[in-house]
Amino acid sequence: MDWSYILGHMNYWLFTVMMMTGLYIVIARGNLVKKIVGLNIFQTAVFMFYISIGKVSGGTVPIFPTDMEIDPEVTYSNPLPHVLILTAIVVGIATTSLALALVVRIHEEYDTIEEDDILEIETRIAREENRAHGGAMGGRA
């Protein structure tokens, strides 16, 4: 493994670092909104990975001239990953908005968006349920 190998795969390194950053935020942060931010970083890393593999060295923008006379000398970048990612971005936006809507509703019901506080409230609910319904049989509700 030498320098040209490391620099030659720059997009992969960046993608990996960014992806892991996002995933780490999702796991480590207790704030529900910050988790969504992490999820977005995670998804964006994947978008960048796709777009970077669409690059053809020396390739130009993949738009044909209007007279459709295509010069075989010109190399074009691969447009397909871009199109795919356009779809994936839309999916990502839908996910983010749904997640934020859920966070709003959670805030209304729990009055907090911190995971620890929510867990505490839910443990309390579960304990009350255990007390109320526990008589029937052993085990936790």
Partner 1 sequence: MSVSDGGQVLTLAGHLPILPVVVPFMAAPLVVVLGARRLAWPIAFAASLSALAVSVALLLQVLEGGGVSYHIGGWAPPLGIEYRIDAASALMLVLISGLSTTVLPFARRSLAHELEARRHMLFYAAWLLCVSGLMGMVASGDAFNIFVFLEISSLSTYALVASGAGRDRRALTAAYDYLIMGTIGATFFVIGIGFLYAATGTLNMAELAVIIGENGTDRTIQTAFAFIVVGMGLKVAVYPLHLWLPGAYTHAPSVVSAFLAGTATKAAVYVLLRFMFTVFRPEYLFEVRALEVIMLPLALVAMFAASVIAIFQRNLKRMLAYSSIAQIGYILLGIGFLSQTGLAAAVIHLFNHGITKAALFMGVGALLLRADTPFHDRIVGLGRRMPLTGFAMVIAGLSLIGVPGTAGFVSKWLLVQAALEKGWWPFALAVVGSSLLAVIYVWRMIEVLYLQEPEEGGRAEAPLSMLVPLWTVTAATVYFGLATGLTLGAAQSAAEGLMSGFIPVAGEGGGG
Residues that bind partner 1 (CB under 8 A): 19, 23, 26, 32, 35, 39, 42-43, 46, 49-50, 53, 80-81, 84, 87-88, 91, 94-95, 98-99, 102-103, 105-106, 109-110, 118, 122, 125, 129-130, 132-141
* The token pair that represents 95 in the structure block: 């996910």
Smallest gap, in angstroms, from Cβ of residue 1 to partner 1? 14
Which DSSP symbol is given to 136?
G
Smallest gap, in angstroms, from Cβ of residue 115 to partner 1? 9
Smallest gap, in angstroms, from Cβ of residue 26 to partner 1? 6
* Cross-strand partners of 60: 76
Smallest gap, in angstroms, from Cβ of residue 95 to partner 1? 5
Cα 123 from Cα 77, distance rounded (Å): 54
Tell me whether residue 29 is exposed, middle or buried, using C-beta atoms within 10 angstroms of its C-beta: 0 to 12, 13 to 18, 19 or more: middle
* Cβ pair 113, 106 in contact under 8 A: yes
Alpha helices in the chain (DSSP H): 3-8, 10-28, 32-53, 80-110, 115-133
Smallest gap, in angstroms, from Cβ of residue 7 to partner 1? 19
Looking at beta carbons only, is 16 or 67 nearer to partner 1?
16
Cα 113 from Cα 31, distance rounded (Å): 6
Looking at beta carbons only, is 74 or 141 nearer to partner 1?
141
Looking at beta carbons only, is 77 or 95 nearer to partner 1?
95
